[in-house]
Every structure is written in structure tokens, then in C-alpha cells.
Amino acid sequence: MFAFLANPDRFMAFSRWAAPILGVAAALLLGAGLYFTFAAPEDYQQFDTVRIMFIHVPAAWLGMFAYLCLGVASLLAFVFRHALADAAAKAAAPLGAAFTALALITGSLWGRPMWGTWWTWDARLTSVLVLFLFYLGYMALRAAIDDEVKAGRAAAILALVGLVNLPVIHFSVVWWNSLHQGSSTFGAERGDTLPAIYLTPLALMGLGYLALFGALWLVRIRAEVWRRRATVLALRAAEG
């Protein structure tokens, strides 16, 4: 799959129909997810704030998944000097930053009524903030260096360093005493798993967020490919 899509022309042909399909899938999944979000009963402890979970948890998942995509694309760009992998890394960063910002904002809005505070320097919250700072650092570093090749390689190193943070985020609630709850979906202890009435909207919203990320990532990679082609055309025109 990677080898097939590594060719820019094949990627552009593939993404031309894949992006709208993912966009439609995102709209359907998010619509169904929202229906079940507001059809679910309020929680006996968290009352109506439980509905924030359906938009907060997928945002955190996608913040981490987008960084994984950024890291893998950066590795391929750094090792193989592949221009399309570099474009993919660059395109993933703003989307991942947006999802991570959403996780922080919605988490804060959930934490205030349930924990009594907007923010605490808890291991989970702090490691997600570090993830957000890695995204900002990646984008700032790319923007700060004029030479695009050097900028891509420097940013790729930063992205690879930041991969270390992903397991820290995941295991932060296990390794340290945390105000943040442990997992109630993937890898949850028996008895800690969410009931189906909450798991259904969470799964639909998670898949909807994933489809949206996929669609927008493809659109942004296509934009980056066109931008590089436009730059080459402008240079040729300037050279006469």
C-alpha cells in the first residue's frame, strides 16, 4: 500500500476519490454519533456532562493517532528522503494540533464541573499538553527555516523525538496516581468497560473523527503536492 501510494501521480489519482468518500463517511458517522450522544441517558454520577465524553475522548484518540501518522511519515521522509512522505507529515501537523487542542479544551470544560478545576498538572493532562507543544514546535520549526529540505529534515527529527510521548500519554494513568480516569474502552479491566448505551455513540464518534481526519489529511497532502508543483513552475518561469 505504502509502495503503491508513494508515487505522487498514483496518490493523486487515489486521493481524488478517497477523500470525498471519507468525507461522506465522516458526515454519516458523526450524524449517527450525535444522535446516539443525545439519545443516551445521563450518567448517575456525571449527569449530563457525560455527553462531553463523546466529543472529548475521540479528540484525544485522534490527537495521538495523527501524531503517530506524523511520526511514521517523518521517519519515511527522513530515511528515504521521500517528498510525498514529507508532504504527508507536514499536512498531518495542523490537524493533529487541532484535535489535541479540542481534547484539552473539552477536557477542561468537563473537568470544571466534575473535578472542581479547569486544569491540574496531572500526568495525563500534562503529557497531552506536551503533545500539543510538540505539534506547535514542529510547525514553528518548519516555518522558521527557509530551505524546505532542511526544514523538513529538522522537523522530522523533532517529530521522531516526540513519538516517545505517545506511550507516556497512554500509560500515564497506570504509571502515576492520576485524577484522570483509567481506560474504560481499549484495555479496560473487566467491569470498568463502558456499557453499550455509552460505547455505541463513543465508537461512532471515534470512527467519525477518524474518517474526518482521513479525508482532511488527504485534501491537505494534495494541496501540498500542488503547492510544490506551483513552486517549481514559478521557478521555471522566473528562470525564463
Partner 1 sequence: MDFDAGKYALYVWSAFGAVAVVFAWMIADSLARARRWRREADPRFRGDDRE
Residues near partner 1 (CB under 8 A) are 9, 12-13, 16, 35, 38-39, 41-42, 47-49, 51-52, 55-56, 59, 94-95, 98, 101-102, 105-106, 109-110, 112-113, 212, 216, 219-220, 222-224, 226-227, 229-230, 233
Query: Which residue lies nearer to partner 1 by CB, 35 or 175?
Result: 35
Name the residue nearer to partner 1 (CB basis): 78 or 98. 98
Q: Smallest distance, Å, CB 207 to partner 1?
A: 15
> 202 and 186 in contact (C-beta within 8 Å)?
no
Q: What's the min distance (Å) between Cβ of 97 and partner 1?
A: 10
* Nearest distance in Å: CB 20, partner 1: 10
Nearer to partner 1, 59 or 159 (CB): 59
To partner 1, the closest distance from the beta carbon of 201 in angstroms equals 12
Full DSSP string of the chain: -HHHHTSHHHHHHHHHHHHHHHHHHHHHHHHHHHHHHHHSPPBTTTBGGGGGHHHHHHHHHHHHHHHHHHHHHHHHHHHH--HHHHHHHHHHHHHHHHHHHHHHHHHHHHHHHHHS-S----HHHHHHHHHHHHHHHHHHHHHH-SSHHHHHHHHHHHHHHHTTHHHHHHHHHHHS--SS---SSTTPPTT-SPPHHHHHHHHHHHHHHHHHHHHHHHHHHHHHHHHHHHHHHHHHHHH-
The residue (of 78 and 99) whose beta carbon lies closer to partner 1 is: 99
Helix axes 83-115, 148-162, angle to 10 degrees: 40
> What's the number of CA atoms in the CB half-sphere (13 Å) around residue 93?
26
**Residue 92 or 166: which CB sits closer to partner 1?**
92
Q: In the bound complex, what is the minimum distance in angstroms from residue 9's beta carbon to partner 1?
A: 7
Beta carbon of residue 8, minimum distance to partner 1 (angstroms, whole number): 9
Least distance (Å) between residue 49 CB and partner 1: 5
- Nearest residue (CB) to partner 1, 155 versus 216: 216
Q: Which is nearer to partner 1, 11 or 78 (CB)?
A: 11
